[in-house]
Structure 1
Amino acid sequence: MSPPAPLPPLAPGALPLAGHFIAYRQDPLGFLMNLAARGRIVGMRLGPIEAFLLREPEDIDRVLVSEHRRFWKDRMTRGLGRVLGDGLLTSEGDIWLRHRRLLAPAFHRERIAAYGNDMALAADRFARSLQPGEVRDIHADMMRLTLEIVAKALFDSDVGPRAADVAHALDVVVGRFGDGSITLFPWLEHLPLPSNRRSRDAIATLDDVLLGVVRARRARGGGGSDLLSMLLAAEDDAGRGLSDREMRDELMTLFLAGHETTALALSYAFVLLSKHPDVEARLRAESDAVLGNTLPTTEHLARLPFARAVILETLRLYPPAWAIGREAIEETSLAGYRIPKGTQLWISQWVNHRDARYFPEPERFLPDRWLGGLERSLPRFAYYPFGGGPRICIGNQFSLLEATIVLATILRRVRVRLLERRPLSLLPMITLRPQDPIVVAYEPAPKPELLRAPVSAAP
């Protein structure tokens, strides 16, 4: 009888009780890169939780695609259910499958394309509002801009000024739950701390706003062209739609994913362009040649390959979704190692997107790498900014469309100049945030007066 397969090795340096938590907390991204360099599957212990980092695309493919039914969301992600409820990010099993099927028609390619005009107009209003030489935090600006866009797409005019309340409340709860401390040490949530009070108040605000919008729209019989209207009208095979609470959970998840992740991608894109003026000049030249004196629409995207390459390369270097977690719900094996039931598995876009086997000079910003068919030649999980498998981000096409249109629109009116040349200090939480304001100066671009609003959009 052959001996049982070994467990994956645990990285050295674990302390009593804390394990690797202190080293991880000091530099999460560097810690994961060092862990990945130690082998194909290597373990870490964060307080009471032991987890294993997967590095190889084929192992990730098994967990997220071919054997995805053996795994569900990890403990940290499930802990977000205290805020997000049973939305697509946190739910499992039949609940997730039913919700995914009900939401899918609202994210069909043709539906998403129809928002291109709104995206361009919002970005153009923002760019026209800037004063020459004005100094601002571009991350804060992109958060406000994507907030306006997602509020329009999700709710049309029903949220209005309260969209800012939702954004602020989400910011509070992401800050409280995003670093995983409460999952590792659940007793922290019950202490009489100001941060806990702020978190409870924020969740109450989210319930008040989002449930209020759902109930008001339902009371007037639905109607409208936004995503909320489509979700209210959606029914499963048994003729059942989403309840008010289910609607709240999905809207909160979509609001967070559709607002924050795209704002981060745009912020990092402008940082990279400011540091690489030759790339910015090529991007501006492409826009001038394709758009003439109009703003971009969905119909232009196929003729803006370099703009798309800039976004893809930004998502490679600074993926807003920087890690994915799963838990084995039955014993299995990976790469010759035994994976017991309950094992926590981590998968990191930050790590895989910097693998020199697939991305030569991985730390360099090289949008050209995406112009020669790289996407088709890569293993499926060498590059996966939106996750993958059945649980790939449902809003990935919305996000790519928005990022490309907003980037092209703003650059038609302004240049963005980074005022501090030091490396970005990053804060890995639920998303990959900048730790400090990203201070820029906005300067006029050539010929801004020639621009006019888009005249059409894809159906």
Structure 2
Amino acid sequence: MQHGSVYKLAFGPKAFVVVSDPIVARHILRENAFSYDKALGSYVFCSMISIYGLNVIAPGFHALYLEAMVKVFTDCSERTTLKFEKLLEDIQAQDTIELDLEAEFSSLALDIIGLGVFNYDFGSISKESPVIKAVYGTLFEAEHRSTFYIPYWKFPLASWIVPRQRKFQYDLKVINDCLDGLIKNAKETRQETDVEKLQQRDYSNLKDASLLRFFVDMRGADVDDRQLRDDLMTMLIAGHETTAAVLTWSIFLLSQNPSKMKKAQAEIDAVLGKGRVTFDSLKKLEYIRLIVVESLRLYPQPPLLIRRSLKPDTLPGGYKGQKDGYKIPTGTDIFISVYNLHRSPYFWDKPDQFEPERFLVQRKSEDIEGWNGFDPSRSPGALYPNEIVADFAFLPFGGGPRKCVGDQFALMESTIALAMLLQKFDVKLKGSPDAVELVTGATIHTKNGLWCKLRKRANVQ
């Protein structure tokens, strides 16, 4: 925040406008949203779903679909905890196991995305296949491209001359062949219908309640295979990476706050006992949901939202900015620094501290003209705090008409996975928190994994 809420950042011959102010972010994302477009391959979970009309479906559809997805989230999370229990049984002389939980969460998230989006079981928690290896290869390449300042992969013949680009092309072919097969199967078994009937579907009794099934049934013969495959690829890569990061930082933060870890496990014991998570019990896991949200505040995924101006505009000055605002020409690339916003001392009390309870307390805007403060009552009935309650000082999934529509999917799968892990195990970092190095790119993740010690909880059989 030392450069102000709006400033220009020169990067070689290119300059960007960096925004760290909710008033300016609200202008770009909501108030004047159609003057801006996503730029530079903005990396947001499920960012392309809206192409197929999911964002026009009524909230009732979302509730029915998400209720069906809870079983997928729970089944996959149970696979992970059973794997850990088996590892403990295999080393009977020890009562703890050491694991890279970031890697384990990555496998879990991949299985959830596979079943929830494609109706395809990657089985990555317990095995490795050519498709899984290809997915991780594309993830590494996406990370490389998001941080490398010269797009050399666009040069003629680069995909054949550069070894890593040859491997990337091979990985893409493996995944595309898999997705093409799934799309073909979905189209051959489609039950073409309209939006109204899709809203009334009993998703809990569907053998295939995946998003792929929904897309094909809604669009029918009009669906474009290549566009659909590209959008499914976006969901696979972005959604998988994001969820793994959210769970990683939730454990990282809880491990440094033992009292909050105990509070979380006490809520889990009271709500779940030794049972599984259901849609109804998820609603009662308030503290676990707030832990996930607070982790997203401190380690937002992605840390930047990128927009490009489609026409000349004048950005508002924001808090402590220029009164006349900032004029920007067409084609200006804007970085909305979600990381800076979420840790701003102007809009958050003790911004660098891990306090899940903060989302239950109203914070008035005081002397900040143009910002309406933080008010949990502003979004009644919502399971999770959002950009509305914080008036755009909290943007884990963006905001406005281009907000990520996969937010509830990502939040719920993270909540369930975290609850089921803490239900069965006590978790501690293997080393010092200072030894966990951050790497910032498309997401914020660790450099060498999150190595933890897991012990079976005494009251769990």
TM-score, normalised via structure 2 length? 0.80
Please, which of 335, 341, 345 is the counterpart of residue 346 of structure 1?
335
Please, which of 61, 70, 74 is the counterpart of residue 116 of structure 1?
70
Tell me, which stretches of 5 or more residues in structure 2 are unaligned? Answer: 89-94, 124-128, 192-206, 318-324, 363-373, 379-388
Work out whether residues 305 and 371 of structure 1, in 8 Å CA contact, stay in contact via their aligned partners in 2.
Answer: no
How do residues 154-233 of structure 1 correspond to structure 2 at under 5 angstroms?
154-157=117-120, 161=129, 164-183=132-151, 187=155, 190=158, 192-221=161-190, 224-233=208-217
Q: Structure 1 residues 287-296 or 275-284, which shifts more?
A: 287-296
Q: Secondary structure at the match of 1:416?
A: strand
Write the distance in 2 (CA, Å) between the matches of 1:158 and 1:124.
15
Q: Secondary structure at the match of 1:402?
A: helix
Please, which of 110, 113, 122 is the counterpart of residue 150 of structure 1?
113
Alpha carbons of 1:340 and 1:50: their partners in 2 closer, same or farther (altered >3 Å)? same
Write the distance in 2 (CA, Å) between the matches of 1:375 and 1:289.
28
Please, which of 117, 121, 127 is the counterpart of residue 81 of structure 2?
127
Cα deviation code 1:250-273 (max 9, x no counterpart): 211111232111111001111111
Please, which of 313, 322, 347 is the counterpart of residue 358 of structure 1?
347
Q: Structure 1 residues 328-337 or 190-199, which shifts more?
A: 190-199
Please, which of 349, 361, 365 is the counterpart of residue 372 of structure 1?
361
Alpha carbons of 1:49 and 1:358: their partners in 2 closer, same or farther (altered >3 Å)? same
The corresponding residue for 1:316 is 297
Q: Secondary structure at the match of 2:395?
A: coil
Alpha carbons of 1:348 and 1:184: their partners in 2 closer, same or farther (altered >3 Å)? farther
Structure 2 counterpart of 1:363, which letter? Answer: D
RMSD over aligned CA atoms reads: 2.7
Structure 2 residue 441 is matched with structure 1 residue 429? yes
Tell me, which stretches of 5 or more residues in structure 1 are unaligned? Answer: 1-35, 91-95, 450-459
The corresponding residue for 1:263 is 244
The corresponding residue for 1:454 is none
Please, which of 419, 422, 425 is the counterpart of residue 411 of structure 1?
422
Write the distance in 2 (CA, Å) between the matches of 1:184 and 1:338.
32
Structure 2 counterpart of 1:226, which letter? Answer: S
Write the distance in 1 (CA, Å) between the matches of 2:21 and 2:109.
34
Structure 2 counterpart of 1:258, which letter? Answer: G
Please, which of 7, 10, 18 is the counterpart of residue 53 of structure 1?
18
The corresponding residue for 1:136 is 99
Write the distance in 1 (CA, Å) between the matches of 2:153 and 2:244.
30
Q: Secondary structure at the match of 1:77?
A: coil
Shift of 1:221: 4.4
The corresponding residue for 1:31 is none
Alpha carbons of 1:196 and 1:405: their partners in 2 closer, same or farther (altered >3 Å)? same
How do residues 59-138 of structure 1 correspond to structure 2 at under 5 angstroms?
59-74=24-39, 76-77=40-41, 89=47, 98-101=51-54, 104=57, 108-130=62-84, 131=88, 132-138=95-101
Shift of 1:224: 2.7
Shift of 1:232: 1.0
Cα deviation code 1:336-374 (max 9, x no counterpart): 221011111110111100011222111111112123355
Alpha carbons of 1:159 and 1:418: their partners in 2 closer, same or farther (altered >3 Å)? closer
Q: Structure 1 residues 254-263 or 213-222, which shifts more?
A: 213-222
Shift of 1:383: 0.5
How do residues 383-402 of structure 1 correspond to structure 2 at under 5 angstroms?
383-402=394-413
Shift of 1:112: 1.2
- Percent sequence identity over aligned pairs: 26
The count of aligned residue pairs is 399
